[in-house]
Amino acid sequence: MKEDFLKSLEADRWIFNADILVDEAHVVMLAEQGILKREEVRAILAALSDLKRQSDEFLEKELPRHEDVHTAIEATLIKRLGEDVGGRMHTARSRNDEVAICIRIALRDELIGVAKALLALRRTLLERASQEIETIMPGYTHLQHAQPTTLAHHLIAHHDAFARDFERICDAFKRVNRSPLGAAALAGTGFPVSRERTATLLGFDGIIENTMDAVSARDFIVEAISCFANVMINASRLAEELILWSSAEFKFVRLPDTLTSGSSIMPQKRNPDFAELVRAKAGTVFGCLTAVLCILKALPFSYNRDLQEATPHLLNAVRTTLSSVEVLTKMLEGCEFIRERMAEEAEKSGTFATEVADTLVRERGIAFRTAHRIVASSVAAAFQPQQQREGTGARTVEEAKEEESMREALRAKMAEFGLSDTAAEEALDVRKNVERRKTRGGPAREEILRALKSREEDLLKDEREVERMEAKIRESLESLEREVEKWMH
């Protein structure tokens, strides 16, 4: 019971591969610095190589017997090589700097994984947007019909939110990818170690200089989970819209059968369970962030065992975020947008009213606030019958009559101000409404085509950045592998 309370097995399994890399880099550095003898180095590196090959058995059988993965690996080497050789691996090192660097190595791989998943989601959003440039739909504020826009415009809005999430992930990576190794317990070590050498071998961009800060800093965990939380905010917004749009009230989208489920009692149901879980899992990630903030609050320098409790929350947050982004990508790849329904709804509830007011301003020089009041009055008068029959249930035919009544009222009002029938019809045409909105970032076709081209260029640049990040780490680890081979033979 007492021993189990100290353990964090899932997190230890997560950082196992990182720990082996750290052990190899540390031993190579100790050899280069003349701190370990060649025969000792050869034996330790050979034992670590065997342990990598037997990792499944080690993680299943050996790891649970020990307090943590670091002591388990060291105990395995001592058992095989004897303490006089196996016990030398830990020279000039503490579990404090060891666990700190292992978490950073594992996390930087996860950050790259999330970044790549965001790239895939962004590409899917742009591909779907390029297919929906002409798809008219209502834009919403307060979940009420507001102005007409296009589905392409709407999807690009989601893309841009995830693009900022990608930027945050890459920015966090810069602070994660700094090495604390060599800080030892808190005050460094009396051995002539090279902290820069192990950082280079492990693909880090540099070291965390102050040794107390190096072993105790977990702000990089807060930053990473904060990034994941922001991803999940945007993911939950997209998921919520897919849930709403797939309902009978909207009928804007049909989700793929593989990402919906049926009911245990109602045979007609197609429940958006996957999207609902994405929406809910945002709360899971927020909870992870809150937990880590509470764990780290007011901890004195330098290392405290409290820090161990932060890692499982980090692991939960990154796995939840990654799976949610991947599910949304699959959902968007396989969904069917129902264009006719979107176009039908775009005509309703006076979405063109703003353009009518703008037309009065442009053509007759009326102050916008005056034009707004004139149009609002006409719209309210047209919808008066709806208020009188509220609750009758007979809405479809009446709504159509009211919509036409509103259009007629606005035509008449524009005629009062001397506007031609052509000008009036253009103001009431939702597609022409959209095409008028050529403001930078607006929904007009010309602007959407520019936006798609611009974002495709940004996406290619971001894909190259991830490739660069991966390549730097890969080249460093390949160099480490060559050094290990050199010292083993």
CB under 8 Å to 402, separation ≥6 — which residues?
382, 383, 385, 386
Cα–Cα distance for residue pair 325/409, rounded to 1 Å: 47
On whether the CB atoms of residues 13 and 69 are closer than 8 A, the answer is yes
Cα–Cα distance for residue pair 451/448, rounded to 1 Å: 5
Question: Can you give the three-state secondary structure of 171-208, one letter per residue?
Answer: HHHHHHCCECCCCCCCCCCCCCCCHHHHHHHCCCCCEC
Cα–Cα distance for residue pair 143/240, rounded to 1 Å: 12
Tell me the C-alpha to C-alpha distance, in Å, between residue 72 and each of 16, 67, 100, 212, 457. 10, 7, 17, 25, 48
Cα–Cα distance for residue pair 87/74, rounded to 1 Å: 7
Cα–Cα distance for residue pair 14/280, rounded to 1 Å: 25
**Catalytic residue flag (residue 226):** no
Q: CB 67: neighbour CB atoms within 10 A?
A: 14
> Among 26, 216, 263, 264, which one carries the catalytic annotation?
263
| Paired strand residues for 141 | 144
Q: Strand pairing of 336-337 and 253-254?
A: antiparallel
Q: CB 426: neighbour CB atoms within 10 A?
A: 18
Cα–Cα distance for residue pair 388/10, rounded to 1 Å: 63
Torsion angle, alpha carbons of 31, 34, 39, 40, to 10: -70
**Catalytic residue flag (residue 264):** no
Closest CA to 238 of 272, 289, 286: 272
On whether the CB atoms of residues 146 and 138 are closer than 8 A, the answer is yes
Closest CA to 32 of 188, 147, 201: 201
Closest CA to 65 of 79, 52, 53: 79
The catalytic residue positions are 142, 263
